[in-house]
Chains A and B, each alone.
Chain A
Amino acid sequence: MTEFIIISLIKIAVVFFILLTVIAYLSIFERKILGWIQMRPGPNRVGPWGLLQPLADGIKFLFKEDLVPAAVDKVTFILAPMVAMIPALMTYAVIPFGSEIELFGRTIPLHITSINVGLLYVFALTSIGVYGIVLAGWSSNNKYSLLGGLRSSAQMISYELALALSIVGVLLQAGTLDLQQIVANQAGTFKIAGIPVLPRWHIFWFQPLGFIIFLVSANAELNRIPFDLPEAEAELVAGYHTEYSSMKFAMFYMAEYANMITASAIATTLFLGGWRGPFVDQVPILSVIYFTLKVCIFIFFFIWLRGTMPRFRYDQLMNLGWRVLLPLAFLNIFISATISLFVS
């Protein structure tokens, strides 16, 4: 029992440390990639190739004046960044980062825990994360923040539906909510005449529609362009985090990036086979590399979208969520159920 606790604590510490570093460096990579898309170099002054920029940003956030305006609702003002940040970090408890490794004679599975309602746990935390934004918008006692907060939460709860329904297809195919089992379900390859052609990932069979719906809904959940009207700089000053400064703003910022990595990790696990890849059984450490590569593909995709697309107007956004994605998600469930019934 104590051994289990110690191993779990070590895993949590490692994941936490790596995650915070990745979030910090994600900010520089986002700015670099956006810069390249826009034909400019991005930040490259601080350190070689700009690699010390997150350090500079961190020091800036620590030393800025932490302003709490006089007329805000103090309890919720201070609570909101916490409510945004904590669920964003808690989701990493169930994500499978790799297969198993052998250390000091013990086989350690590379996930912090494996619960039998793993996917619902992730959705529960996403639902709680909405409160961070709502409370931030309201407590700031500022009409721009309130509008931004309300718009954002309305958008997030609308797209939560399409997000959850797009996952149901994967559940029908895998037959379980446990993320480890969903990865295990995607083992093997499709063979034509004995030659492996395609890996047996969910995106290829039979969830391409679910994958597209998931990507679009995840984009809207993350409040990223093209769905970032809540943070629309030109219209709402800075939306729900207008009145926040220093570490509280940094927490919102980090929570957004943490959510982005979570969405990428979930997309990898559900649709792209998680840590699966060639020669993973022989060399277990390759599983972590494959997982990281796949997550990076999705992160790059999100950043690419940000640099390329214009912003949706609010009614277009709601229209897309309720009248396009929701029926498509139902169609996906119908198709998945039919195929599930006839295949097995």
Chain B
Amino acid sequence: MEKALFLILAAVCAVAALNVVLQRNPLYSALSLIATLCSLAAIFITLQAQFIAAIQVVVYAGAIMVLFVFVIMLLNVTTAERTIDRHRYLKFLAIPFAGLLITEVFYVITRFPQAQMPTGAIGTTESIGVYLFNQYLLPFEVTSILILMAMVGAMVLARREEKGK
């Protein structure tokens, strides 16, 4: 039952992710990315990480992607035109590198056939809160300062247009 659920969700996720790169219209790519994120959130739920799933939808699919969609709509990014011929050789590099990636993934998967779920509740609100404020307090605070820096930077960059204040 869980396997069937995982297969369906993984298929949706993979198809949506493929659609992100195969679509010509950037808005459709963004929508496919949202579909990918939502199916990822569903996979998190099958792994008993409900908090992470909800936060994934709220933050990533609900806030960050809204920003992407705004930018695409406001900047009127048109459908991708043919790229410059200078980079045509990249197409031929793609296949060997993809092969390399798939080989690495298979190697890792076959080396650890019995991956086990960590015992206990890992992805629930309480456990994340406990870890975040006890063991990982420094990264947490540093991340918040990082976000503050990003906000201040964005505000400074946006304000620079109106000099003379």
Residues of A near any B CB (own CB < 8 A) = 73, 75-76, 79, 115-117, 120-121, 123-124, 126-128, 130-131, 134-135, 138, 146, 150, 153, 157, 160, 177
Contact = CB atoms under 8 A, between A and B. Distances in A.
A130 B58 contact: no
B70 A120 contact: no
Contacts of B62: 124, 126-128, 130, 160
Contacts of B34: 131
Contacts of A177: 125
A115 B61 CA distance: 20
Contacts of A117: 50-51, 53-54, 124-125
B9 interface: no
Nearest to B25: A73
A177 B50 CA distance: 11
Nearest to B124: A116
Given A76-B27, A116-B124, A150-B74, A121 B54 contact: yes
A135 B63 CA distance: 15
Contact of B55 (A73, A75, A76, A120): A120
Most buried by B among A115, A128, A150: A128
B28 A75 contact: yes
A189 B41 CA distance: 40
Contacts, number: 61
B57 interface: yes
Contact of B73 (A116, A128, A150): A150
B69 interface: yes
B12 interface: no
12 contacts: A115-B50, A117-B51, A120-B51, A124-B62, A127-B57, A127-B58, A130-B66, A134-B70, A135-B31, A138-B27, A157-B66, A177-B125
Contacts of A123: 54, 58
Interface string B20-38: 0000000110010010001
A121 B27 CA distance: 26
A160 B66 CA distance: 13
Interface residues of B, number: 23
A157 B69 CA distance: 13
B58 A120 contact: yes
B54 A138 contact: no
Interface string B117-131: 000000011000000
Given A120-B55, A138-B27, A150-B74, A127 B69 contact: no
A157 B70 CA distance: 12
Interface in B34-84: 34, 38, 41, 50-51, 53-55, 57-58, 61-63, 66, 69-70, 73-74
B50 A153 contact: no
Given A115-B50, A116-B124, A117-B50, A153 B70 contact: yes
Interface in B144-161: none
A327 B70 CA distance: 26
Contacts of A73: 27
B54 A134 contact: no
A130 B74 CA distance: 16
A257 B53 CA distance: 27
B124 A124 contact: no
B163 to A, nearest CB: 23
Contacts of B66: 127, 130-131, 134, 153, 157
B16 to A, nearest CB: 14
Contacts of B51: 117, 120
A152 to B, nearest CB: 12
A136 B101 CA distance: 40
